[in-house]
Amino acid sequence: MVISEQGYVHWQGTFIERRFPWWPITRLGIRLAFKRKFFKFVFSISLLPAVMFSTGVYISERLDDFQFMLKGQDRLLEVNPAFFKSYFTSEPLLFLMVMIMVLAGAGLICDDLKYNSLQLYFSRPLRKRDYVLGKMATVFFFLLILTLVPGLLFVLLKLIFAGSFKFLANYPWIPVSVIAFSLLVTLFFAFYTLLVSSLSKNRRYVSILLFLVYIFSNVFFGIFYSIFHNPYFCLLSIQCDIQQVGAAFFRQSPHYDVPWIYSFLVLAAICCLSAFVLKRKIRGVEVVK
């Protein structure tokens, strides 16, 4: 007969749920990203396009002072919807965003799978959706710094340097487009990163895959387009899809003669695939021996 030293005492306290249970996951993701080699360097580099475009906003308001440099190319520095479209869909920016995901996002789920951390998370008061939200928020944190923050900064700088609200009066929808497109492109990249990150336990493979899928989708488009001259092959390219949708959001004509909604649907389909895979991959570790 077991003799117990102390009778069981019922817990008297009240359990307070965290308001944002996903935040510790996000904070850990951000902290671990800054520990990675080269991350700080690449992150700093990725801010350069924003610095260049901010300088462009300043010069656009001081055209007379910079005529010696512009030599009649003033049109290029006009701050209008095309300026925003150029920033948000520029190849260097998209490439740097992919590099940020390779360095900061590749390990988000793959490391948890590798280190068996899911069982520690899910034996705590943390829902699976909070876990995914926390991981996504890590990607959001980095990518919004490259999209939303500069986008709104350009609007603000334009207003400050112009000293009037004429820009907003001409294009009142620009801030909404900046916010909507930043969120859309970040949401897509977050789903894309988590999808690839959940496919392997090896961060190196995930990093390579993140990079190669993005690059090769573009390469395949280039090959097929040069053979068949059919613009619909642009749907194969992640970069082109983002650029097509970006053009529509900033009311510009798309680069390829394909309805932007098709590109939007391709991006949405990748997000849906990601959600499906994440639902299957992120669950309690089942033991089969």
The dihedral of CA 256, 262, 266, 268: what is its sign? positive
Token representation of residue 285 = 């570790």
Choose among 162, 146, 145: nearest CA to 57: 162
Choose among 104, 91, 170, 97: nearest CA to 136: 104
Give whichever of 4 and 226 is closer to other proteins, judged by the CB atom. 4
Burial class (CB in 10 A: 0-12, 13-18, 19+), 270: middle
| Least spacing, CB of residue 287 vs other proteins, in Å | 4
Q: Which one among 10, 71, 75, 229 touches other proteins, defined by CB under 8 A?
A: 10
**285 belongs to the binding site for other proteins (CB under 8 A):** yes
| Least spacing, CB of residue 126 vs other proteins, in Å | 5
The dihedral of CA 27, 92, 271, 211: what is its sign? negative
Q: State the DSSP code for 36.
A: S
| Least spacing, CB of residue 20 vs other proteins, in Å | 11
**16 belongs to the binding site for other proteins (CB under 8 A):** yes
**287 belongs to the binding site for other proteins (CB under 8 A):** yes
Pattern of binders to other proteins over 122-161, x per CB under 8 A? xxxxxx----------------------------------
> Which residues contribute to the site for other proteins (CB under 8 A)?
1-2, 4-11, 15-18, 21, 24-25, 27-28, 31-32, 35, 111, 115-117, 119-127, 283-289
